[in-house]
Structure 1
Amino acid sequence: MPRRLMFVQLKTGYNTDRGPSWIGWVDFSKTWSTAYFHGRTLRRFGGMFDANFYDVQTYERFWVSGPKRDRTDTRYGPFNPEIEPDTVETYHAFLAGASLPGREKG
């Protein structure tokens, strides 16, 4: 199962880009259509205005994407995501110019 360091933001119940967000490890299914994060099963779904995944149990919407080096992960504000403790070293290396694990070739 592929594992990637990702930016994840909860969209449901929050104004525009005001929901809580995290930098953390996300496990993906072989087809990349399902993501596993914080004990949730998130399914990819196109056509949503501000989200690209939803929780299969609660139907809450999430935005899941690769982190950005310039830290502009949210569209409308410089909100700092919570950095998961087990990702700090990898995330800081990425911010300093290292490739993300699993993405060494792009």
Structure 2
Amino acid sequence: MPERIMYVQLKTGYNTDQGPAWITRLRFSRSWRTAYFRGRTLERVAGLARANFDANFYDVDNAEEFWISGPKRDRTDARYSRQQPEVDEDVRAEYEAFLNGAPLPGRGNG
């Protein structure tokens, strides 16, 4: 399964960009429609059926909604907030190298 270091933010139960956020390693299915995060299975939200326009994945077990995207070098991952994500220890060195200009693993240009 492909793995990527990603920005993940919980959207359910929080005002816009106020939910907890992480820089973490996710595993993805071959189709990239399913992500695996901290014991959760997240499915990609499809079409207009989604309740929260700020979410692009949801937890298949409890329907909590998440935003998943690649991290940004300028640390503006949360669009409407200056909240900084928690960085998982197992990705910290790679993430800090990315912030200093190195590409993320699995991505040729960052």
**Above 0.5 in TM-score?**
yes
Does residue 89 of structure 2 align to residue 85 of structure 1? Answer: yes
Q: Could you tell me how far apart the structure 2 residues matched to 1:24 and 1:105 are?
A: 19
Aligned length: 106
Deviations 1:5-59 (A, max 9, x none): 0000000000011000000000000000000001000000134401000000000
Give the TM-score normalised by structure 2. Answer: 0.93
Partner of 2:44: 44
Q: Could you tell me how far apart the structure 2 residues matched to 1:105 and 1:96 are?
A: 13
Q: Could you tell me how far apart the structure 1 residues matched to 2:54 and 2:17 are?
A: 9
Matched residue of 2:97: which SS? helix
Amino acid at match of 1:6: M
Deviation >3 Å, runs of 4+: none
Q: CA deviation at 1:104?
A: 1.2
In structure 1, stretches of 5+ residues that fail to align are none
Amino acid at match of 2:5: L
Q: Could you tell me how far apart the structure 1 residues matched to 2:79 and 2:102 are?
A: 24
Report which stretch shifted further, 89-98 or 40-49.
Answer: 40-49
Give the TM-score normalised by structure 1. Answer: 0.97
% identical equivalent positions: 62
Amino acid at match of 2:102: A
Amino acid at match of 2:104: L
Name the CA shift for 1:15/1:59 in 2 (closer, same or farther; >3 Å).
same
Q: Could you tell me how far apart the structure 2 residues matched to 1:37 and 1:5 are?
A: 11
Matched residue of 1:94: which SS? helix
